[in-house]
Amino acid sequence: MIDARVRKIHKTLAALGAPAGTVATREPPIMLATLADRPPTGPGWLFELKWDGVRVLASRNGGPTELVGRSGQVVTGRYPEIARALDKLPLDRFVLDGEVMALDERGRPSFQRLQARMGLSDPRDVERAMAQVAVEAAFFDCLALDGRDLRGLPLVARKDCLRLLLPDRGPVRRADHVTDDGAAYFAAAGKAGLEGIVAKRMESRYTAGRSREWLKVKSQQRQELVIGGYTDPQGSRGYFGALHLGVYEPASGRGVPRLVYAGRVGTGFDEKTLRAISAALRPLRRETSPFAVGSPPGRGHHWVEPRLVAEVRFTEWTDDGLLRHPAFLGLRNDKRPEECVREVAAPEPPRARTAPPKRAATRSKAAAGSPAAPSPAEARTKLTNLHKVFWPADGYTKGDLIAYYDAVAPWLLPYLKDRPVVLTRYPDGITGKSFFQQDAPDSTPSWIRTERLHSKDANREIDYFVLDDAESLRYVANLGTIPLHLWSARVGALDRPDWLVLDLDPKGAPFTDVVTVAQTLHRILDDLSLPSYPKTSGASGLHILVPLGARYGHEDARTFARLLALLAVEAASAISTVVRPIRGREGKVYVDFGQNGHGRTIVAPFAVRPLPGAPASCPLEWSEVTARLDPTRFTIKTLPARLEKTGDLLAPVLKGSIDMAAAVARIEGRAASVKPSRGEAPAAPGRKPGRRRTPRA
């Protein structure tokens, strides 16, 4: 007896006029989405969640269900519970497109958790893993049903068929979607910690390959890349230090695709993953680099045949085509290396000509592209002792401090995001006791992000605060945190700083000398065609930052910073020095290059200092660095208004980079052109040189 559900399916298929036919799944005709940077607007689109799992086609043709990955590999044995659940459906002929996933403790798909199931082939291993990691499947498309090929039907019709076949909940279910306000849906997905959404044209037909009819919009950038080598392990880590990654550049004409170097990833591994990847790499070792374009500098590299694929999360591509702040998520045995090409966001589809919604013509900071402070509904921090005076001479309170950090959050958060910070807390204000806090205490709320990192100085693991949002910033301000000191590198690329810094510290020298040394450094850097950005320290000095774009290691940054410091001292030897002890400086400005290194910190831009007047670190235009500069005028009362007018003058340091080797070559070339004449000794540092020479770095 045919049940009512099957009769309804038959009736629907007949009404749709779908032709008879089958869909071969061993050569998967999978439809792929094109990357976009925002959800499309206008009518005719529906929106689904982007599941953080592995793609499968589920096929049944009168017998047991077979699961096939996107590469054509049969993976039924890996996920037998999915196949068994599909066997119980009332129809015995279908082809469904969907995603297998493993959920974390909060019910969110976790690709890393799914790793425990992805690589298994022995049924005994699968059986053991099933008890530890359960999987589910969400299907979002129906390619064939009851002997009819549905691929030529509009998507909405295929989804109607899917709705008749699958339940809306359970371990095997149909995927939900919405049909309006994709931007709000995308924002909600990001807030929930999900990977993103997929936008699909309602009338789209199912076609093999990548299509602009389907668009994927990611909350976090992710990409599959080919592993081409690895570095020696560092410190206490075993097996390897980082993986060298690449993407294939499509062939032009009759050429062949070339593997292009895309950077390296050194975080996201636990001990088990390190061991497993090392074992997989061992039989693939080769003598030469597989990268046809680009290659990592330095020594300690080992090469492998480009056969393994890694999935990596990262913040952006640099102008040099390298990954910025990557973190390893897992191996992808369902992707072929040749499929790994750099994904580029497609332009937004043309908007339909519809009347704009009526709403107030206001422009918020969030609308201008800056993160906004949380609304009262989002606030989680219970503020305390807001009227406690923190700056007795000025009357500024703890409430004033919190209000300031709320106000500058849109400009400060881009520096804090993904970056370990060190707090200095003043629970009773600037005249009371204070203490540094690196380690987040056990009482820290679960919604505050922390990252456990090994501290070389302390020789132990430390749970650093990472302040990714305005509410986290407000939380630490409520703890009585006045200054925030941050690392130069982000979690995901802790061995690759975003900048190098030269700290001009007067300690007894007049501030006009600090300005003169800063101007000297500016001329040197300009002469080397290197970008540089000054800011006040918030105290008595100046910081000069040079963007590195996470291209170089800490030792490279420190060595180059030392070279620049020596050039500055050579050019302004009467008023500057690289001697660290105060008693040895002789009243000169100390050009400190020592703040470059793993775990070294500088005071964050816009961070407040525990000094009279409540000054804060302020980015500057170089035209402001003159004898008239007064750093004390940038305070918690004046800086927010300045930022509204000028914006963040330091912002380019987060996106730019330099060619360090080219800069060193220019220095050496200019030194060679002014060699001292025969018999003339080079001038010593600290004395006015008769001829210019290159300090040894």
Beta strands in 488-564 (DSSP E): 499-505, 533-536, 542-547
∠ CA 589-594-599, rounded to 5°:
140
> CA–CA separation, 441 vs 592, rounded Å?
32
Any idea what DSSP says for residue 590? E
φ, ψ of residue 217 to 5 degrees: the values are: -125, 115
3-state DSSP assignment of residue 512? helix
Q: Please give the full DSSP string across 222-276, using - where no structure is assigned.
A: EEEEEEEEEE---TT--S-S-EEEEEEEPP-TT---EEEEEEEE--S--HHHHHH
> CA–CA separation, 38 vs 257, rounded Å?
29
Residue 675 designated active-site: no
Are 575 and 589 a contacting pair, CB within 8 Å? Answer: yes
Q: Would the CA dihedral through 280, 281, 286, 292 be positive or negative?
A: positive
What is the total residue count of the chain? 697
∠ CA 269-272-278, rounded to 5°:
80
Which residues are CB-contacts of 116 (< 8 A; sequence separation ≥ 6)? 102, 129, 132, 133
Query: Distance of CA 504 to CAs 497, 529, 612, Å?
Result: 20, 21, 21
The 3-state DSSP composition of the chain as helix, strand, coil percent (nearest 5) reads 25, 25, 50
Token pair of 100 as six digits? 């297998």
> In this structure, are strands 31-36 and 209-218 parallel, antiparallel, or unpaired?
parallel
Buried residues in 465-497 as b, exposed as e (16+ CB within 10 A):
bbbebbbbbbbbbbbbbbbbbbbbbbbbbbbbb
- Taking alpha carbons only, the member of 514, 504, 516 closest to residue 590 is 504
> CA–CA separation, 183 vs 139, rounded Å?
23
> In this structure, are strands 323-324 and 316-317 parallel, antiparallel, or unpaired?
antiparallel
Single out the catalytic residue among 50, 218, 335, 398. Answer: 50
Q: Please give the full DSSP string across 138-154, using - where no structure is assigned.
A: EEEEEEEETTEE-TTS-
- Taking alpha carbons only, the member of 694, 650, 634 closest to residue 501 is 650
Are 139 and 172 a contacting pair, CB within 8 Å? Answer: yes
Give catalytic residues, as residue numbers. Answer: 50
